[in-house]
Amino acid sequence: MVVVEKDKVENIPLLHVVKESEKLEKLPLVIFIHGFKSVKERNLHYAYLLAEAGFRVVMPEVLYHGERDQGLNEKEFYIRFWEMVLNTIDEIKRLKESYLKKGLIDSEKIGLAGTSMGGIVTLGALTQYKWIKAAVSLMGMPSYEEFSLWQLEQLKAQGLTLPLTAEQIDEQLRILREYDLSHQPEKLDNRPLLFWHGRKDPLVPYPLTHQFFEKVKPNYQDDPEKIRFITDQRAGHNVSLEGVEATVDWFIHYLQ
């Protein structure tokens, strides 16, 4: 039987999902990050299937979401998008270290995945942590700098006045470059990486992600099966059943 427990690491609320019979065993770990304006509970179907397959799954609540809601208005929420992303990347390390100290995870079998903003977090985290052994980006993209500029244009088009000076925007872009996988693809280091993306996605542009995939694919010429891109021709910003099943299969193949 799979059990879902509420837990907390420091100030980070999370769901801990694992087979009850394996609760105290040292298991492969998958950290799963939810999307923008979503909550951790919405991805429980991934966690259930992964736990059934023998993984320990940790699903944190992203800053300003769910249990960490601080009553931000719409504009404040969008302006703090990158703060949420970078804070989550930092918190991933703290989650891993906590479960490692408890002796509940195998340090050589740690995976990371996420939907939308969670996919963006996943790809940025690959620039920071070599201990991530396999990853899945669902509707995410790695081009932090380019996507940030695209977001600013979208907000302006909606008539939103941004409370950011040109200097503040430049500083944000400078910080984002440190996490931008498209500028440092060598940091993938041949690690298994799966992409899923709907071609009609209106929120995270499909071309940004697919162009990166085509760019790095030659780096995997000795192990071409370690990088894969699933395109759903009809999908917008919603992962299909195929994407869910492919996520579970990816970790079974590369993390067990």
User: Where in the chain are the domains?
Assistant: 2-255
Please tell me whether residue 122 adopts helix, strand or coil conformation.
Answer: helix
Amino acid at position 202, single letter: P
- Cα–Cα distance, 249 to 167 (Å, whole number): 45
Quickly count: other Cβ atoms within 10 Å of residue 208's Cβ.
18
- Cα–Cα distance, 35 to 114 (Å, whole number): 7
Amino acid at position 256, single letter: Q
Domain 2-255 is in which class? alpha beta
Count of all residues that appear for the chain in the document:
256
Confidence at 58, pLDDT banded by 50, 70, 90: very high
Confidence at 20, pLDDT banded by 50, 70, 90: very high
Q: Is the per-residue pLDDT at 158 higher than 80?
A: no
In DSSP terms, 2 is beta-bridged to 19
- Across the chain, the runs of DSSP E, i.e. the strands, are 2-9, 12-19, 27-33, 56-60, 105-115, 134-138, 193-198, 227-232
Pair 28, 61: CB distance under 8 Å: no
Phi–psi pair at 128, nearest 5 degrees: -110, -30
Looking at every residue in the chain, the average pLDDT score rounds to 94
| 85-125 residue pLDDT tens | 999 999 999 999 999 999 999 999 999 999 999 999 999 99
Pair 48, 250: CB distance under 8 Å: no
Higher pLDDT, 171 or 247: 247
The predicted pLDDT at position 77 comes to 85
- Cα–Cα distance, 87 to 89 (Å, whole number): 5
